[in-house]
Amino acid sequence: MFSRLAIPAISLLLAGASVALYVHDSEERTPAFAFVRRFHVAERRPEYAETIRFVPAADLAGEVAGEVALQDALGTVSLSDLEPAQRQLWIDNLADLDREIESARALLLQSIRERPGWAYHRSLLGMIEYARARRRVQLGPAPDRWLRPLELAMRLSPNDSMLATFAAEALLESWPHLEAIDAGRVNPIFHAALADPGFVSRHCTELVELLGHDAVWRLLPDAPQPLHAALQAEIDAGDVPAAAELNVRWERAEWQSRELDLREIQECLPRGDADCARSACRIWAQKHPVFYWDTRAGRRQAAAVLDSWPNEPGNWRNDLRSDFVNFFLERPADVDGKAVMRAAASMSDTPRPILARASIQAGDIAVAETIARADESRGTFEWTRYGVDRARSALAAGRTRDALAALETISPAAQNECDVVLVRASLARARGNPTTSLAGLNRMQWSQTSLPLCIDPAQSYTMLRLDLSIAGEPALVDYGFDGGRSETIFLRPGRVRVAVPLEDRTGRHIFSYRTIAGGNVTPIETALQ
């Protein structure tokens, strides 16, 4: 009997409490609703008016009002795109902006009292105070009014870079008006803001002018993206020594990031979590373009990524694995050819010559020949590299007839190309008749910053020697083979000799360099050694 009476009574109590809570919440939102009406938020910014209605707590409604005032104070609007009535509301509101800021400030103070541990109430208060001081041209006097709330917000939410970025940009704008700067106070703000690559791109040069290189470099975190943004800023500013110094830091941080991201992939594999591995491989490929680290260590690393990449369908034109396939088809690398073939075969629209070459790299000659025979375009220029690869694989297996047959499938117009001539020479040597002339294969003729090479494996070349002229000022230069970057070097003015390891490359390759910053770089003498 008691339990039957207790349940309805408890239900009535809970319903009453819900009604009371609703009434209290509605009363608490009244100032925010008044803000919406007073400053025509529903007409000018309807999405914010709707948000104020439906946020789960009244103090959050005050926060949304603060965002409206901040947008009105610091944002822009194109009046020409508005209807006449709406345009007039914006013009009228502009005349009333000081009162809007004061009203938003009062709402935020109340929100902080209701939820004192919420970082974003305090950050918006700091931003509103900053907008208020800015409008009054009073950024110097009493900076604590806007800086202190921003500092408290950063402590409450240390991983939100937006808070640090706003505080740092406010400091930079206020800097000429501030009487004294406490480095111990502002340096943590700049340090946190410099973790944001966007902030670095916009303000690195300005910070260097204020604080000096050494101070900014100490504050700059050892993370690839901010370091690369700072590197680009120094390149744009024309400070080549500073760019060279930052490039060393960036390369170290980028390598560590590549290793950590590879570890993320490899941690998925023992669990058999293909989705985890697939996602981690995509992230690695997006963050670390495979052509940008063309060294033995970089190729081993990229090979581990490709080998770990689970099968998934894709399209050759927009799948990141196509870069890996192209990369490994042209390079001496300790890569599992089956991983290259698996990636090439899993993508639709993979060009047939590339698929056939990948099959050769995987050691599946029968599949490669099936693909080649089925393609009507066989014998055109695009099949030249396949014919060379097929001939080389046959020679390596001691099948000289198959090698000759593969060479005969190559277009007559391509018979004098470097790789074809070199394979014919190897075939002649294998038959005991080394009569093929290799004269003139390496003319060492530059085409602007690119140098075609024809490296004869019989000559045992180990390096490319470059004598370069650096005009006027130091230069920062990338170089590499076949579209890849092997190294970035800092070159002082004058005549400089650079020895570039060939790393077992033979046949046709294109060496190229790119001046990132600084003086003109001109080749004087070039030789294979």
**The two three-digit tokens of residue 308, written as one number:** 């770990």
Class of domain 25-239: mainly alpha
Q: Tell me: pLDDT of 332 over 80.
A: no
Instruction: Say what the pLDDT of residue 334 is.
Output: 76
How buried is 87 (Cβ within 10 angstroms: 0-12 exposed, 13-18 middle, 19+ buried)? middle
Q: Tell me: pLDDT of 123 over 90.
A: yes
Instruction: Say what the pLDDT of residue 1 is.
Output: 53
Instruction: Say what the pLDDT of residue 4 is.
Output: 59
Residue range 394-399: mean pLDDT, rounded: 93
Residue range 108-131: mean pLDDT, rounded: 93
Residue 472 to residue 474: CA distance in whole angstroms: 7
User: What does the DSSP assignment read for 141-152?
Assistant: S-THHHHHHHHH
User: What does the DSSP assignment read for 41-58?
Assistant: HHHH-HHHHHHHHHSSSH
Q: Tell me: pLDDT of 12 over 50.
A: no
Residue range 93-99: mean pLDDT, rounded: 91
Residue 447 to residue 167: CA distance in whole angstroms: 50
Residue 97 to residue 71: CA distance in whole angstroms: 11
**The two three-digit tokens of residue 515, written as one number:** 């001046």
For the packed helices 352-361 and 321-329, what is the interaxial angle rounded to 10 degrees? 60
- Are 377 and 355 in contact, with CB atoms under 8 Å apart? no
Categorize the per-residue pLDDT at 17 as very low, low, confident or very high, splitting at 50, 70 and 90. very low
Categorize the per-residue pLDDT at 408 as very low, low, confident or very high, splitting at 50, 70 and 90. very high
Other beta carbons within 10 angstroms of residue 368's beta carbon come to: 23
Q: Which candidate, 420, 472, 462, places its Cα nearest to that of 441?
A: 420
Residue range 426-431: mean pLDDT, rounded: 88
The fold of 450-528 is Jelly Rolls (2.60.120)
Q: What is the pLDDT of residues 259-290, one digit of tens each?
A: 999 999 999 989 999 999 999 999 999 999 99
Q: What is the pLDDT of residues 213-262, one digit of tens each?
A: 999 999 999 999 999 999 999 999 999 999 999 999 999 999 999 999 99
Instruction: Say what the pLDDT of residue 15 is.
Output: 47
Q: What is the pLDDT of residues 18-54, one digit of tens each?
A: 444 444 456 788 999 999 999 999 999 999 999 988 8
- Are 32 and 62 in contact, with CB atoms under 8 Å apart? yes
Residue 12 to residue 337: CA distance in whole angstroms: 73
pTM of the model: 0.85
Q: Which range among 15-19, 418-422, 513-517 shows the weakest confidence by mean pLDDT?
A: 15-19
Instruction: Say what the pLDDT of residue 434 is.
Output: 75
Q: Which candidate, 130, 162, 160, places its Cα nearest to that of 146?
A: 130
